């Protein structure tokens, strides 16, 4: 009998796909938008990305080394966190800020809660929001360098396209789609971000479920409450401007901070779309993707509690009492 029956703890189904392989695919998917941001904004943008990634990796290594934990930097999760954080920063930000943001993201949000798989919100977005609260002026300064000014042909003077939309101005949809606009290093080109997202879907790293429902919900919200009526040009500009594509495809889909069940993911994505619409349209800031995702990350335990199916043979009682 012992040779026929093996009793062991979960997981009982294993995959050959490793964390390193998944994170490498995410880096590959982000590279087109990151390289475009460097080409558009120059050497300073490259230094922001390099320092953000290097600081994230160093923070994780040093924390685990001094805490006598297993060193896990080879799984590349810190690289992804640093790269996402750097791509969410203005191109001319002081170089010490990505270092502080990465250290906060890795140490406070990730490692202090148990490391990869235990963090309660997306570390990169937590680092960005920490910097937004602490250094709001620098994090909202999108003044371009002379290098970028020669390449941004459809720029909006004094504001990002998203801020211009909120002010009721007209922006160029083509510039927002292809990326010849002001914005953070990695959010400007909707086209390159969508290509990266398509790569992740093709590699089965992510499902299109959350991005499509998220963007669809936001689209409906913007059409109803955006104040422009059924204006598809305005809607397209909203979808292609700011960080909503980057957030929907690369951060809302984070394995750790999204619900596990399909039903939960639908609920999560709908709430994300509504919250992003509320922040963008009714709040003081033009952007709201980061805050919406972090807010919904905090709701995930409640969503999962309501959507995770009961175990085989367990019946939930209708009126109080214990399940049987």
Q: What is the distance of C-alpha 38 from the center of its chain? A: 19
For residue 152, what pLDDT band results from cuts at 50, 70 and 90? low
Q: For helices 123-134 and 77-87, what crossing angle results, to 10°?
A: 40
pTM of the model: 0.88
Residues of the chain above pLDDT 70, percent: 86
pLDDT value of residue 83: 97
For residue 286, what pLDDT band results from cuts at 50, 70 and 90? confident
- The mean of the pLDDT values for the chain is 88
Task: Map out the domains of the chain with their CATH numbers.
Answer: 19-307 (1.10.3430)
Higher pLDDT, 53 or 229: 53
For residue 321, what pLDDT band results from cuts at 50, 70 and 90? low
Angular region, 206: left φ>0, alpha ψ -120 to 50, beta rest: beta
Backbone angles phi, psi at 54, to 5 degrees: -60, -40
Least confident of 118-122, 193-197, 250-254: 118-122
In tens, the pLDDT along 73-103 reads 999 999 999 999 999 999 999 999 999 999 9
Yes or no: say if 56 and 105 are a contact pair by the CB < 8 Å rule: yes
């Amino acid at each position: 009998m012992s040779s026929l029956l093996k009793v062991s703890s979960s997981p009982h189904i294993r995959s050959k796909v490793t964390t390193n392989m998944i994170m490498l695919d995410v880096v590959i998917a982000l590279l087109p938008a990151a390289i475009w941001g460097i080409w558009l904004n120059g050497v300073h943008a490259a230094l922001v990305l390099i320092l953000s990634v290097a600081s994230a990796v160093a923070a994780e290594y040093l924390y685990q080394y001094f805490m006598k934990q297993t060193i896990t930097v080879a799984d590349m999760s810190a690289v992804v966190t640093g790269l996402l954080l750097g791509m969410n920063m203005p191109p001319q930000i002081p170089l010490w800020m990505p270092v502080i943001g990465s250290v906060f993201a890795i140490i406070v949000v990730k490692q202090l809660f148990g490391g990869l798989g235990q963090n309660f919100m997306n570390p990169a977005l937590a680092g960005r929001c920490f910097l937004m609260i602490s250094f709001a002026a620098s994090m909202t300064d999108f003044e371009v360098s002379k290098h970028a000014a020669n390449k941004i042909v459809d720029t909006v003077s004094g504001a990002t396209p998203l801020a211009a939309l909120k002010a009721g101005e007209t922006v160029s949809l083509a510039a927002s789609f292809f990326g010849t606009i002001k914005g953070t290093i990695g959010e400007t080109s909707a086209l390159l971000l969508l290509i990266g997202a398509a790569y992740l879907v093709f590699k089965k790293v992510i499902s299109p479920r959350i991005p499509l429902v998220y963007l669809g919900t936001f689209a409906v919200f913007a059409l109803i409450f955006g104040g422009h009526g059924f204006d598809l040009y305005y809607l397209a500009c909203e979808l292609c401007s700011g960080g909503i594509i980057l957030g929907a495809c690369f951060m809302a889909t984070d394995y750790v901070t999204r619900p596990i069940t399909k039903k939960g993911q639908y609920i999560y994505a709908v709430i994300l779309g509504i919250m992003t619409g509320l922040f963008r349209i009714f709040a003081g800031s033009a952007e709201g993707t980061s805050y919406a995702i972090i807010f919904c990350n905090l709701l995930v335990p409640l969503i999962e509690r309501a959507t995770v199916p009961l175990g085989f043979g367990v019946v939930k009682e209708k009126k109080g009492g214990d399940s049987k």
